[in-house]
Amino acid sequence: MHRRLATALAASTLAVAGVLGTAAAAEAAPADKAQVLASWTQTSASSYTLWSAAQANQSAWSAYEFNWSTDYCSSSPDNPFGFPFSMSCARHDFGYRNYKAEGAFDANKVRLDNAFHEDLKRVCTRYSGGTKTACDSTAWTYYQAVRAFG
C-alpha cells in the first residue's frame, strides 16, 4: 500500500513539475517572439526605429531572451571614413544571432542582409555630393561583404 502511494505521489510530483517547467519555458519565450523578431528585422525605416527603441530598453524585453550582443562591424571599421555604420552593424548582428538561435537563419539571411544595406543607405542620406557617393559606395562594399561572408 505504501509503495503504491509513494509511486502515485512521485508520478503526481513529476506531472506538476512538467507543467510548471512548461509554464516557465512559455514565460521565458513568449509565443509572439518570432513575430517581434521579424518586426525588428525588416528593411523599412520603421522596423529600424522599433529595433532601436527596444535596443535602448533591453530590460523591457528580457522575457524574450533575445541576444543583444554585438561586435558591430566585426573586423571592418565601425565608422569607415567617418560614416557612422556601427548601429546598422549592431542590428545586423541582432538579426543574425537571434535567427541562428531560432534555427531559422537560412530562411532569413537574404532579408537580414538587405535590411543591413537599407540601414547603411539611410545613414548615407545625411550627406550630399561626393561625400554621399563615397558613403553609398562604402555601404555597397559592406553589403557585398555580408552577402558573401556573413
Q: Is 3.40.50.300 the CATH number for 31-149?
A: no
Give the residue extent of every domain in the chain. 1-29, 31-149
Provide DSSP, 13-66: HHHHHHHHHHHHHHHHS-TTHHHHHHHTSSSSHHHHHHHHHHHHTGGGGGGGT-
- Active-site residue 2, yes or no? no
Contact (CB, 8 A) for 41 and 107 = no
Confidence bin at 2 (pLDDT 50/70/90): very low
Averaged pLDDT of the chain: 87
Instruction: Inform me whether the pLDDT recorded for 59 exceeds 70.
Output: yes
Selected catalytic residue, list 54, 90, 92, 120: 92
For residue 129, is it left (φ>0), alpha (ψ between -120 and 50) or beta?
Answer: left
Residue 26 has pLDDT above 80, yes or no: no
- Decide: 40 and 50 in contact? Cβ < 8 Å: yes
- Does the model's pTM come out above 0.95? no
Locate 118 and state its grid cell: 537599407
Q: For residue 29, what pLDDT band results from cuts at 50, 70 and 90?
A: confident
Instruction: Select from 77, 44, 76 the least CA-distant residue to 52.
Output: 44
Residue 61 clears pLDDT 90, i.e. is over it: yes
